[in-house]
Structure formats: structure tokens, C-alpha cells
Amino acid sequence: MHNDVILEVNELKTIFQTHSGRIAAVDNVSFKLQRNETLGIVGESGCGKSVTARSILKLVEFEGGSIESGRIDYWPTADEKIELALLDHRSKQMQNIRGAQISMIFQEPMASFNPVYSIGKQLAEIVIRHKRVSKREARDQVIELLSKVKIPNALHRFDDYPHEFSGGMRQRAMIVMAILCNPRILIADEPTTALDVTVEAQILDLIHSLKVENRMSTIIITHDMSVVGEMTDHVMVMYAGRVVEYADTEALFAKPLHPYTKALLQSIPMIGKGGELFSIEGSVPSLLHLPSGCYFAPRCPYASDRCKRTNPPEILIDGKHLVHCWLYAEDRA
């Protein structure tokens, strides 16, 4: 039944206890990642994209968060299931999965490297730890991968410290870190935010070709709809911790349903079309003071009283396109 699904997240709820109160950064999120496909998670800043990813890797528990309810099921092979939500974040099993089977390219490359050791040494240590090879072999593997991601003169730059790399080079080194152990799932969290447009295109191409070559299933997190359009097979749109729409990418671009998705699509800059970049009026609500009903209602041009009162259910359109919006309810007033 689940042969082609590698990861299934079901009604995940991740909470943080902050100074000002309890927040649900991820609230009832469900999605599936098929083997070898790319899923995009998209939404404005603060809507829970990174926390979703960090929940899968059980990193949130190190950051004061907890998975309050829901399931995260990972199938390394078609007939072996591991329930990640139930594993202790410090357990040996979780440590072996993290990095080696499911790995992540983090949003801030600087934070992933220790400033006092050379990049090469840090990468080689990961290889030694997970693959139990000699120092020499680890060094050779790292240099090979650094050249593959087009770090110029990788042999010499192996001994460089993180601050000696440019932003684009650090991003590439982090990609090497993420793929060193041939993970089955790669999660790329805004892998190109800090980079200029030409480098961005190169990094996205690189992730794509590594994905195909290493047969990785991939999750790409971004706030940029054009990245979603180019890179993904399915898309999940998040707003204030909840899923608002989930569909295959082609269907989503051909026929976006949720007013929030439509607004995101309108905010893609159109080269040559001139005109101003459309931005969505208003801002994402604070998770401490959420409106009742649909969280997008205060910014939504179509919001009715019902939208403001009651959270819309999940509605299935055309057999596979999911939307959480009262506009598509059968008993629409």
C-alpha cells in the first residue's frame, strides 16, 4: 500500500512554550513524500516551514519545542516503517537517521559550520563517523564531492576555515555536508536565500542533479513560487502553521484554489512585464493572537462571516487537489 511513499506526516502539531505563551508553530499538518519526488513547502515568513522540517528530524526538542500530537512515519524501504514521532530525539537510532538517512541543508549556512575548524576537517569527520573509513579515505571523498559541487581548487580549499569561503561556496559546502552519507531524503530549507540570482540558479541546478543521480526524495522549502514551479512535483502551501492547499505542482499553477495561494502566485516577479511586484496586503497574524476561524480571513478579499467564525475543513477537488477554504464547500452560501 505504502510502497511508493517514503515519508508520511499525519496531523502533526508542534508547540513551543514561549515567554508570552504557548504557540502551535505547526498545527495539524499532513502530507506525503513519494519516493524520488520533490515536494515544495511554501508560505510567507513565520508560517511554520522550518519547524515542520525540524520536527521531522526531531531537532525541535533541542530547541524547546515538542511534538504534541501526530505521526511522522518514515519508510527506509517498502516494508520497513519507523515512527519518528515516537523516537527519543537523543536516541542512537535517531542520531543514525539524522544526517545519514534524512539530511537537511539549513537556512543559515554559517550556523552549520564551527568557525574554529576547517571546512574539510568538519566534513571528513562526518564521513568517518557514519561510514567508518580511514582519515585518508574520508579526505579523498570530501575533496571529490567539493570538486563535484564546483568549489574551485578543492584540494587546496579543503583546509580553509568557514569565513574564508564566499556565501555561495559555504552553501555548496553545506550541500556536500547534507549528501555526504547518501541520504534517502534531502530537506533543503531555503537553500538559496542568501545568494545572488546567478548563484541561486546554479545551486538549484546542483540540488536537482544530485537528487537525480543519488535517487533522493527531496523537500524544498521556499517562499518563492518560481522555485516551486521549476523544482517540485507536489506543493504544500502553509499559512500560520496550517496547510491551506496541497496539490501536484502543475495543477496548483494551472488552477490555484486558495485565495492565499493565488496571492502568492501573483507576487512572482514577471520579467519583461514591467509593473510593480504585487505583495499581499496585511501580515501573517501572531501565533499568540490568532483570529478565530480561517487564519487568512482578516487578509482575504472573499472572507464571509463563516470564514471568520469557523476554520474550514479539508476539501478535496478533482480527486486529489486539497484546499482548506469555505469557498469550495458544497453548501457554500
What residues make contact with ligand ATP under the rule CB under 6 A? 16, 18, 25, 43, 45-51, 63-65, 107, 223, 287
Contact partner at residue 36 from ligand ATP, Mg ion, none, CB < 5 to 8 Å by partner kind: none
Query: How many chain residues are in contact with Mg ion, going by CB under 5 A?
Result: 1
Contact partner at residue 33 from Mg ion, ligand ATP, none, CB < 5 to 8 Å by partner kind: none
CA angle 135, 136, 138 (to 5 degrees): 65
Q: Does 192 bind Mg ion (CB under 5 A)?
A: no
Cβ atoms of residues 6 and 75 within 8 Å? yes
Backbone φ, ψ for residue 274 (5° rounding):
65, -155
**Among residues 14, 38, 50, 261, which is the contact residue for Mg ion, using CB under 5 A?**
50
Query: Distance between CA 164 and CA 117 in Å, rounded?
Result: 12
Residue whose CB is less far from ligand ATP, 20 or 182: 20
Q: C-beta of 192: minimal distance to ligand ATP in Å? A: 13
Residue whose CB is less far from Mg ion, 49 or 157: 49
Q: C-beta of 156: minimal distance to ligand ATP in Å? A: 34
Contact partner at residue 18 from Mg ion, ligand ATP, none, CB < 5 to 8 Å by partner kind: ligand ATP
Residues with Cβ within 8 Å of residue 141, at least 6 apart in sequence: 124, 127, 133, 180
The CA distances from residue 61 to 16, 36, 54, 182, in Å, are 9, 28, 9, 25
Give the binding range for Mg ion (CB under 5 A) out of 42-50, 138-146, 168-176, 294-302.
42-50
Query: Distance between CA 322 and CA 318 in Å, rounded?
Result: 9
Query: Distance between CA 43 and CA 166 in Å, rounded?
Result: 28
Interacting residues toward Mg ion by CB under 5 A: 50
